[in-house]
Amino acid sequence: MIVGDPKSFAIESVVTEAYEYPGLMALGYFVIHISGRVFGLKKLEATMLACSFDEVGRRIGERGSHNPPFPFDSNAGKIANAFIRAGYEPTHEDSEQFFEIAAPQFRNAIISKRLEWAPDGDAAFDDGSSVLQLEELEKVRLIAYVSTPDYVYDPESLRDVWLPSDDFYAILQKWRDRFEAEWRASPKVPNSRMVFKAHD
């Protein structure tokens, strides 16, 4: 199932097995298309999908709150490197600044504003992908990239797309509604098998 336009922004998911337990929902994959590139693991048994489903719901509920602590139109590559260094680089100093903001405050803003959509806490983005969501007035900006082992982004992976807020959130809502309907309509595997898959 794909909702949106992969050449701009779309969400794609596949349900391989559905479960009765809402904490898992289904096994499959959840990926995000941005400017013609796929971010996330596109494998039939990549992850349990409840985490991605819940995160989309949170983003719908928090519409308009993902405001960055730096200029909205800042360079995408500079933003990507700041997020990598502030959030994941183990050797950066707390005295380091990103967009003239001290590292601890910058990191707190990332977390409190939920600027990082993916990874979303599950295995769906174990390919090293990150997707950032920034908002200003009635615009949403998505910046996506793949991190390297050297704690920088792969320049060939960098994508940057600007969307009207109404269009962005319409895609999120449509995907969430369609996914929930698909899950509810799908035959559910027995509980014993569900537990096995959850710990596989």
- For the whole model, what pTM was predicted? 0.90
Residue 193: what pLDDT?
57
The share of the chain scoring above pLDDT 90, in percent, equals 68
User: What integer best gives the mean pLDDT of the chain?
Assistant: 90
Residue % of the chain over a pLDDT of 70: 92
Q: Please report the pLDDT score of residue 122 as a whole number.
A: 73
Which residue has better confidence, 80 or 89?
80
Pairing of strands 47-48, 26-34: antiparallel
Return the residue matching tokens 């996914």.
179
Q: What number is the average pLDDT over the span 36-55?
A: 93
How buried is residue 186: exposed, middle or buried, by Cβ count under 10 Å (0-12/13-18/19+)?
Answer: middle
Report which of residues 20 and 13 the model is more confident about: 13
pLDDT at 42: 92
Q: What is the pLDDT of residues 67-76, one digit of tens each?
A: 999 999 999 9
The pLDDT confidence band at residue 197, using thresholds 50, 70 and 90, is very low
Per-residue pLDDT of 97-133, as tens digits, reads 899 998 889 989 999 999 999 987 777 788 889 999 9
On the question of pLDDT at 56 being above 90, the answer is yes
- C-alpha dist (Å) from residue 145 to 108, 110, 127, 129, 197: 21, 16, 11, 6, 30
Asked if the model's pLDDT at residue 170 lies above 90, the reply is yes
Average pLDDT over residues 37-52: 92
22: confidence class by pLDDT, cuts 50, 70, 90:
confident
Cβ contacts of residue 150 below 8 Å, gap of 6+? none
φ, ψ of residue 183 in degrees (nearest 5): -60, -45
The confidence score (pLDDT) of residue 12 equals 98
Task: Quote the pLDDT of residue 152.
Answer: 85
Contact criterion met (CB below 8 Å) for 63 and 165: yes
pLDDT at site 91: 58
Q: Give the pLDDT confidence score for residue 173 in this predicted structure.
A: 98
pLDDT of amino acid 128 = 87
